[in-house]
Every structure is written in structure tokens, then in C-alpha cells.
Structure 1
Amino acid sequence: MMMRPYLTVVLVLLSTVAVCSKQAGIIKICEGHSSKITCSGGTKIHIMKAIYGRTGKDVCPSKAIKTTSCLSESSTCIVKAKCNGKSSCLLKASNDVFGDPCVGTYKYLEVEHICRIAFFFISAVCSKQAGIIKICEGHSSNITCSGGTKIHIMKAIYGRTEKDVCPSKAIKTTSCLSESSTCIVKAKCNGKSSCLLKASNDVFGDPCVGTYKYLEVEHICRMDQQPLKDSSSFEKKISSHLLIFQTFGNCMMMRSYLTVVLVLLSAVAVCSKQAGIIKICEGHSSKITCSGGTKIHIMKAIYGRTEKHVCPSKAIKTTSCLSESSTCIVKAKCNGKSSCLLKASNDVFGDPCKGTYKYLEVEHICR
């Protein structure tokens, strides 16, 4: 008898989930075309996975198929940033959006999504600290998670998308936001139990000069996820080389193997001859260019100052400052393109050390 109410609750919960997720599915958009994802009944889009490229021949068939194993690494990230939390979202399968992971091959965008209530009532008890905070420009606020849970940032917007939040006479536009908002807040808060945020141009850059802005952050508190135990592809390659060395029983065979490895390394050196590091002094711009059908891949970026002799100046108060979002911003701007113009500016990266003349240092390869 006591089990009956429990079963009733379970059935209600299951039926609720079924209703919430009935619009879930997969859409496939051929290159050059657009399609819309729509969620109704108060539910919102949640992107599970996205692939832009080509992994088979049957989808969007074409004569222009040179490979069936290519995808843009940033596909899921880009689609999540564009659609998550919205009731409707228009997507275009285009190199302009995702870069071109396989030149000469006709591609498509495949997106797996579900429609769900913004915060499931099932997890209301576990995630009761979840919510949205809004911080007016120039002010700060703290996100705190208790009970052993950690912060997980869903979305962040620095700029202005409406008039009612942080009202002011200084509103020139209601359609501006810093593209790096979510990236910066994630880098600062994810995995922590407490995080202090400041709504400031020094942190996010100034996406709309002359408009009074605010920072809006959507977050949840959740238990830490266990890190993946699988080794990285690089570690696997190293392990395979060590296994080969252990297998070879004599020096002659090892010498032959080393010769092959050196030849391969020299070949890689030739293929990556466009790789390098560029340094751009604050206020200046420079371009990264990859030729021969190769595309830019950003390894690391630093905006700030870590040494004196780069972009020398009298205005150096510190040599240990950098914008935490540097790499993320440059990757979003350049990865997968053949050419990319970068500007070393506080408007782009925020100001990590006021009064110090800074520079942007970017390490990249063409591949």
C-alpha cells in the first residue's frame, strides 16, 4: 500500500519527462541551406551534439565528396552558444559559421537536440541554488554553491539586450553583447564553490560604447563529474612508441625505427612550416594566414604582459598579468579559417592590468 503513492509519483515524473522531450530529435542541414529548431509549450532548446562536416555518403549526397571523415571541432560549441535556452533557433550550414574542415567536400550540419523545461522541477531540490543573476555595469556579485556542489555556467551575456534590466538614460542600443562573455565566466567560475564576478569593460571588453551595460549569468550547482580516465590521443601515441621500443630486441632494429621516426618528424616540420608565434603590441593589428589549403589552429594566446622586452614601454607596472579568456577568444575568432585579423585591444580582451602597456602573443599552426 505504501508503494502505491511512490509509483504514482514515478509515473507522473516519467510522463512529464515524456511530454518535455517529445520534440527531441536530429536535424540535418545540407551546406548552404538553413533550418530552424523550435520548442513549444514553454520548453527550451538544449543541444546534445552537433557535427559540421561529413561522416557518411548518404546524407546530402553529392559528387563533391573527397572524404567522409571530417568535422569542425567547434561545431557543438557554436550551436550551443547560438541555440541553448531559446525556444527557436535558426541554423545555417556554412563555412562562414563553422570554418571549412574539408575543402572541396560538400558538407552538412547534423544537430541532436532535446526540448526541456529550463530547470527540471525534478532537480529543483538538488539544484535549488541554480538560477540567473544580473549585475549592473561597475558592480560585483558572488555566485555560491553549497553542500559540496560546484558551479556550472550555462550561459553569460555582457552587454544589453533589453531596457528594463539596469535601467539608465545611457542606452543607445539593446542588441549588443560581448561574444566572449560565456567563455570568460566559464573560465573564471566553473568547478568552483564560490566565484566573484564584476560587470566591467575591463573584464569583457566594450561591445557597445556609450551604452550602460549589465552582466547576466545563468548557472546551476551540481556535483563534480568524474574526470575521464581515457588517456589523450597524444598520450596514446607516446605509449604506442614506447611499446615499440620495448618490443624491439636489438639495436639494429631500434636504429631503423628511429630513422623512420626522424623522417616522419622532418616531414611534419615541412608540413607545419607556416606554424609560429606572432606578437602584437597593444593598439595594433596583425594577420595570421595559412596557405596551400591549410587552416589556422590556435595553440595558445596571451593578452597582457609576461616579460619586459616584448613591446617595450615606460608604462610597465607589472610583468605578470594576462587575460584568462585570451586563448578562448582567439580560438573562436580564428580556428578553421585560412586568414584571421587580430587586434591587441582592451575592447576585445578586457584590461587585465590597468596602466601597463600590453601585447597579444599567439601561438598557432597551419594544418
Structure 2
Amino acid sequence: MLGLSTTLLLAATCLLTSPGVSTETVITCNVDTVQRLSCDIGVIRVEEALYGRADAETCSEGRPPNQLANTECSQGEIVDVLKRRCDGKTVCEVSVNVFGTPDPCKGTFKYLQTKYTCLPAIRLVTCEHSLAQLQCDQGQVISVYGGSYGRYDQTTCTYKRPASQIQNVDCSQHTSIVSESCNGKNSCTIKASNSVFGDPCYGTYKYLEVAYTCLFVSTERAITCGSRHNVQRLSCDIGVIGVRAALFGRSDSETCSEGRPESQLTNTECSQVGTVDVLKRRCDGKRECELNIQVVGTTDPCPGIYKYLDTYYTCFPAIYSVTCESSLAHLQCDEGQIIFVYGAHYGRSDQTTCIYQRPAGQISNVDCPNPTGKVADSCNGKNSCTIRASNSVFGDSCPGTYKYLEVAYICEYPGVIPQQLPEY
């Protein structure tokens, strides 16, 4: 089962449509000069870019018609180059020579046009050999927009440094190491050093730039007392479940103690091994999850002690889809974004989903969980993806039961690597 992501840039993406986020467009006609992107507030996220020509009017002054005629001229992978160099910075300057060759349309007068958004963010700069400390308030987690290690000017981290160590300002190395180490945590420390990030420019004194935001996530707790036939229900009004911790047993003498003799409450170091793994397999990535205590209570961790199931879980923002058996699940992201699957299940866990004109015998088995990584294997990294909800794809975990496919996913920008749910 694929671990649940906490990158949560779905929430950051939602900021793009809020009134507090500005979108800018910069056009540079003379490709021998430098294009400058900047944010007075927040950090850069490149949305679109063109090096070439898309119309006959832009940057046309003083140019003969033959240099403006080709309006379907564009250099490939420009957006990716600009995103690597500029995303997560407050200021970014680029010249056309960073795009390389070949010339996309010889004889045509070209221009560089970039559309970018200023995203609210915390920006942190840490000089080489020092420690970068990312910190959020209680109840929040880190979500890294971007990180780069190198040198881009002659003013940052220059104290007592010889000129030779700060003259190379074309030392660019976009890195995902910060997001890999810090996403989903409340605080995170990482060293700005060549041993962590590699050395993109030998002999240059470097610094680490990180742009991140702090996101609120709601944490819930469910306690179910007693009999193994009792049912525990986890649910998220918004988002999907990510189980953080779970105990089947007893850790104190007060919980679920009403009407119980003292002898049944004395052992407060009683726990069933593997409880959290069972709950994560059954519940991660779902909006609702119900299970009998007997699912985790396969053995008795402390005979004679009155036990309970105590679960902590978080509700993560996500796109959630349900597809009935034999139908096609279609996962779709906006242009420029790619799919990252939190989790997927194929089976049946209730008697209300995908039941139209189905006989009772085909929907009675609600203990048919089958977490699967096949959706992630097929769809991760794509802009859109179609997969059939069928036994031929996922196997038949419960013959005779009419099943459905549940998928929870986010749409991510390339280069940002979502992480598994951190340990707490």
C-alpha cells in the first residue's frame, strides 16, 4: 500500500485562485538582455513560458514582416528550465542563453514571455556550513515550495569571503532534498553543505534558499471500548484519512473504565503489535472507514484486561473518486500538473456505494478490503490517467461481491516530490 503523502501542495495550489495571490507576465524583446522576475510579497512560481513567437504583434516594432510571419515558433522545455531556476525565489534573473540550442525558428525575431505567480511563503536563506531550521506553529506542518543550493548574486552570504568565492553567480542547483526531508513535519533541521546537496560550483561559497508554507491539518481521535464486535468509525468531512497512531490494549486506567473492576484496569502497558499498520492498510486514503475491533485484536495482548481501540488520524486535502466495478476511473490534473496517488482500494467496505440494481448477495460482504499500489504505478507522474475498476486489473479479493475502486490523489507540479506520512 502506497504511503499517504503530506506534501499538501493541493492546498498551496488553491491559493492560486485566492484574492491575495498576484499573477504577473513579463516580456523581454531583446534576447541579449536579462529577464527579471520578482515578488514584492511571497515567492515565484512559474506558470507558463514561451521563447519564440506566438503572434505577429508582440515585440514587432521596427521589424520586417518576414521576421514576424512564423507565429508557431517555440523552444521546447522552457517552462521546466525556468521553474528549476526560479520557483521558490523572491527574485530571479535569466538570460536566453540558459535555454540552449537549437534555434526554434531561424530568421524569426523571438522574444521571451513568462507568466508567473507570487505565492505567499516563508523564505529562508542559510549560508554554507550552517543549519537551516524550518519551523511551523503547533498544529501545522511544513510544505516546501522549492529549494536551491548555490549562488545567484554577490551580496548574499559574503561576510569576510574573498572575491573569488562569490564571483560565480551562475551556480544554480534546484534540489528536492529539503522537501524530501521536511515535508509533513512540524519542524525540520537540515545542513547547508556540499555533503548534503553536492557541489554545483567548486570553489564558490554557497547558500541554501528554501521557500515553504505552514499548513493546518485537522487531527481527530476515536476511542472504541470493549468487545471485539464493536465498530470504530473514522471519517473526514474534507479530505481523506491518514492514520497517525493506534493502540489496541490499555495505556491508562481511566479510559473505558466505567463499571469495570480494578483488576481489569491495572495493566497499563498492554498493546497489540501491528495495530497501526492494520488501520493504515484499511483506512488510509478513504473519506470514511469502519472496522470491527476484532480486525486488529487477532490475539489477546493481555488476558483479563479490559481493552479499547484508540486511534489518532489526520484529514488531508485530496481529490477523491469512486468508480464502480467494470467502469473506468479517470484521474485528471490541470495543465502543467501531474498526478500523485495517496492511496487506492478495490473491494467493498459498505452497503451503500455502487449498489444500483444489485442483489443483496453481491453487496453483503463489507469486509472486502484490498489496498492496491497499481493505481499509483499506472498514474503517478502523468497529467491524466484512465484505469479500469475490474478484477482483471486488481484481482478478486471477494468472489461474488460487486466491488468498487476508491482513489485519493493530488495534482502536483513536476519536481516536487510528495513524501510518506511522517512518524509521530
Q: Normalised by the size of structure 1, how large is the TM-score?
A: 0.40
Structure number with the higher strand fraction is 2
Based on CA coordinates, which of the two structures has the bigger radius of gyration? 2
Q: Normalised by the size of structure 2, how large is the TM-score?
A: 0.35
Structure number with the higher helix fraction is 1
